[in-house]
């Protein structure tokens, strides 16, 4: 039962997120539905056709299934939300025996040939039989990108949050460092996050203005795990600091009190990108 580790990148704009899901019948327009369909029974007892939402997990499963010639279940390290991008998403699947599939060194090429244009398989290698992309992950990193300036973005508009007024990246960086370490991040979680504990450890949180690109400000944050919308709320809070509406002391107060109203807004998904995950067997 060989197990494979995938490294994936994707433009999340036209996906409803990573995880496979199906909408209530008749609830969404055709443009938000994936190709292909299955049948389900309506509440009235009538059997009707149901089409799945377009998700990254489903797109990858469809491609891998065609390559290995058998059903597979893809497990991903992070369940990125609708519109969130990834440069490095770790996933895994297991196949039944040797089967009829390309040699290992050609699997990534074969998978890419069957993926849609907004998903890329950056690697596919054999891994240990018990490799768990979720449970074995010891750290992950995200980047939130701002386009900062009066001229709105064009070519990269799908990947940045536009802020017209000048951001003070030094003030943002000072506030970002307040978040480092183990804290209760209740103030930085969306309502209904569904986690028993809101305590997380942030390994590093920094804000920089990109070298050679004065209009790009980036928030980089890494940790042992993140709550629902946590990075987008962190980015929204630091944006408020950069605009002079909040201070590092305000950020500290939000952490200490756990009050969601003291943190900043939840920014849009377009600026968020999952950058990496790390596992015990990976190089430091």
Mean pLDDT across the chain: 90
Coarse DSSP helix, strand, coil percentages of the chain, rounded to the nearest 5 percent? 25, 30, 45
Q: Give the bridge partners for 140, in sequence order.
A: 223, 277
What DSSP element (H or E) covers 183? strand 181-184
Q: Give the bridge partners for 245, in sequence order.
A: none
More confident residue, 37 or 188: 188
3-state secondary structure (DSSP) of residue 12: helix
Q: Give the bridge partners for 74, in sequence order.
A: none
| pLDDT score at 38 | 44
**Is the Cβ–Cβ distance between 104 and 48 less than 8 Å?**
no
Domains parsed from the chain with CATH numbers: 3-20+55-127 (3.30.70.580), 139-278 (3.30.70.660)
Mean pLDDT within 219-226: 96
Q: For residue 146, how far is the Cα from the chain centroid? A: 17
pLDDT at 18 over 70: yes
Mean pLDDT within 244-249: 97
Positions annotated as catalytic residues are: 81
pTM of the model: 0.88
Q: How far apart are CA 260 and CA 131, in angstroms?
A: 36
| pLDDT score at 190 | 87
The two three-digit tokens of residue 251, written as one number: 């950020």
More confident residue, 43 or 163: 163
Task: For the chain, give the percent of residues with pLDDT over 90.
Answer: 81
| pLDDT score at 48 | 44
**Is the Cβ–Cβ distance between 53 and 33 less than 8 Å?**
yes
Report the greatest alpha carbon distance in the chain.
61
Task: For the chain, give the percent of residues with pLDDT over 70.
Answer: 88
pLDDT at 43 over 90: no
């Amino acid at each position: 039962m060989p197990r494979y580790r995938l490294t994936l990148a994707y433009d999340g704009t036209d996906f409803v997120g990573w995880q496979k899901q199906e909408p209530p019948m008749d609830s969404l327009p055709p443009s938000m539905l994936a190709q292909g369909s299955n049948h389900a029974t309506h509440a009235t007892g009538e059997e009707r056709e149901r089409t799945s939402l377009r998700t990254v997990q489903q797109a990858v499963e469809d491609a891998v299934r065609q390559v290995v010639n058998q059903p597979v279940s893809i497990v991903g390290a992070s369940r990125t939300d609708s519109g969130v991008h990834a440069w490095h998403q770790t996933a895994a699947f297991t196949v039944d025996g040797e089967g009829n599939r390309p040699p290992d060194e050609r699997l990534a090429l074969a998978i890419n040939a069957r993926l849609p244009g907004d998903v890329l398989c950056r690697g596919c290698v054999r891994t240990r039989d018990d490799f768990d992309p979720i449970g074995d992950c010891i750290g992950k990193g995200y980047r939130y990108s701002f386009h900062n300036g009066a001229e709105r973005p064009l070519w990269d508009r799908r990947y940045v949050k536009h802020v017209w007024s000048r951001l003070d990246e030094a003030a943002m960086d000072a506030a970002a460092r307040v978040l480092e370490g183990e804290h209760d991040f209740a103030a930085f979680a969306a309502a209904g996050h569904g986690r028993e504990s809101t305590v997380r450890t942030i390994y590093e949180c920094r804000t920089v203005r990109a070298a050679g690109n004065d209009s790009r400000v980036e928030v980089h944050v890494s940790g042992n795990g993140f709550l629902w919308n946590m990075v987008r709320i962190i980015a929204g809070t630091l944006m408020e600091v950069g605009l002079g509406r909040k201070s590092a002391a305000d950020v500290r107060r939000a952490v200490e009190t756990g009050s969601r109203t003291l943190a900043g807004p939840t920014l849009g998904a377009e600026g968020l990108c999952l950058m990496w995950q790390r596992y015990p067997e990976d190089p430091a």
